[in-house]
Structure 1
């Protein structure tokens, strides 16, 4: 096994874990990092999706007690059933649109310039959302109704476009729909579990012909580094949102997007690898 390939897998895992739950687009960062590292062939695209499972394990670890309580209470606890139903409802729209348009999106939109453009647009949306004075009517995820969950699920579909950010769409969209900052963030975490595990398993099954047992060390390294960095990021983000807005992430998105576009068009950086 090429040791440099394992180093690249570790770097990609760290990028995935640090960006998956922040409103800055993990997919966008993986596309850009893969371009710079020369880690962007067909197999690498499967790798990018598969290592999201490492980040999801981090969420499961952080919310282990809540998840166990929900699963154990499905037969007797109405609140647990409603919570599980809400996650399922929010999960469906992305599945349907992903199956319908996922292939076309990958073929035409997975490019550094598209990612940079959506970085900028997403940053402007976050700035606009943070300047709006929307009164939260839903303080916790347990207060959400099925209709609220469906709306968040529909908003998540914007993240099919790389660079948009799944977490950004669900958190900022949830806040605009009346969820408190913490409720929107936590529901985004919970919704990521079926969404990203489903995407990872589907990608591995669909592209199984590309893979072999020789690829296992690379995937394991990516999963490990994705898990560790995501675990640290989730714990930090929960503390951060108690006293801060998402405005700094908006400016980061805009600045990063401008840099990518400028360096791409001037030829300073070949983002295509």
Structure 2
């Protein structure tokens, strides 16, 4: 029962931090110092990835009409070409991460999955968000609709997502930062990061499941289910919050938060761990 409660807490952390540009990995590593589920390291590695499926389902539910390529037009069901175009751009944007992440995932984890890297990436990208938003105070965004996103821009956004293979960067943080640098508005940048997460995180979760296997105990199933369901529910709230927040504010607050979190992580591992 205690492990299920811990899984719920981790699901809350995943649901919040997956969509805000503040690094879910950094938060889960910090949480792991205080909330340890009594399972094998292999299971926990798989758990931290698979609970993202719950978070992804939240995007699908919230944006179903925009993402489903068939809709009713003048009383008839037709293929929505704007949705087809959106998915094609998402597929193009996934290519860089697929080419680099799939063959080199283990090597990248072995090289960069440590608290030192996460502290550095938290702080560096926090500073970049603040600098970018300071620049944006006097800059207009030329891309305010998904139809304005070219395939070249989508591919370049996907290239920025590759940076998220380094722990602590934040997948949403890398894609949002890259999209804004390429001229996308905050809303388009955030939503594109949501949509881009669907194939990326589904693929990552499937690979982890295949690697771990499907021979779960009853407790393992309960822990996974608790984490996924919680991540789904919290993700809906987090996504709604983020989209409402950026209508009136910029991303600087998240930049400052990343810097503070990086300093806290550094102090913890240097003086307490």
Residue 249 in structure 1 maps to residue 257 in structure 2: no
**Secondary structure of 1:132's aligned partner:** helix
State the match for 2:169 in structure 1.
Answer: 164
Equivalent residue in structure 1 for 2:2, among 4, 11, 19: 4
RMSD: 1.9
Residue 131 in structure 1 maps to residue 166 in structure 2: no
Residue 19 in structure 1 maps to residue 17 in structure 2: yes
How far apart, CA to CA, are the structure 2 residues paired with 1:249 and 1:22?
Answer: 8
**Secondary structure of 1:178's aligned partner:** coil
Contact 2:123 2:258 in 1 (8 A): yes
After the TM superposition, which residues 184-223 of structure 1 pair with which residues of structure 2 at under 5 Å, given as runs? 184-208=189-213, 211-223=216-228
After the TM superposition, which residues 1-273 of structure 1 pair with which residues of structure 2 at under 5 Å, given as runs? 3-39=1-37, 41-68=41-68, 70-71=69-70, 76-133=79-136, 134-208=139-213, 211-266=216-271, 268=272, 270=273
Structure 1 gaps, min length 5? none
Contact 1:113 1:264 in 2 (8 A): no
Distance 1:88 1:196, change over 3 A: same
Contact 1:56 1:196 in 2 (8 A): yes
Structure 2 gaps, min length 5? none
How far apart, CA to CA, are the structure 2 residues paired with 1:142 and 1:34?
Answer: 42
Distance 1:211 1:114, change over 3 A: farther
How far apart, CA to CA, are the structure 2 residues paired with 1:168 and 1:114?
Answer: 16
Contact 1:16 1:30 in 2 (8 A): yes
Distance 1:100 1:57, change over 3 A: same
**Secondary structure of 2:168's aligned partner:** coil
How far apart, CA to CA, are the structure 1 residues paired with 2:177 and 2:31?
Answer: 25
Deviates more, 1:145-154 or 1:40-49: 40-49
Quote the offset at 1:78 in angstroms: 3.3
Distance 1:250 1:84, change over 3 A: same
How far apart, CA to CA, are the structure 2 residues paired with 1:103 and 1:210?
Answer: 23
Aligned residues: 265
Deviates more, 1:240-249 or 1:257-266: 257-266
Question: TM-score, normalization: structure 2?
Answer: 0.91
- Per-residue Cα deviation, 1:149-196 (whole angstroms, up to 9, x for no partner): 101000000000111000011111101101011111111111111111
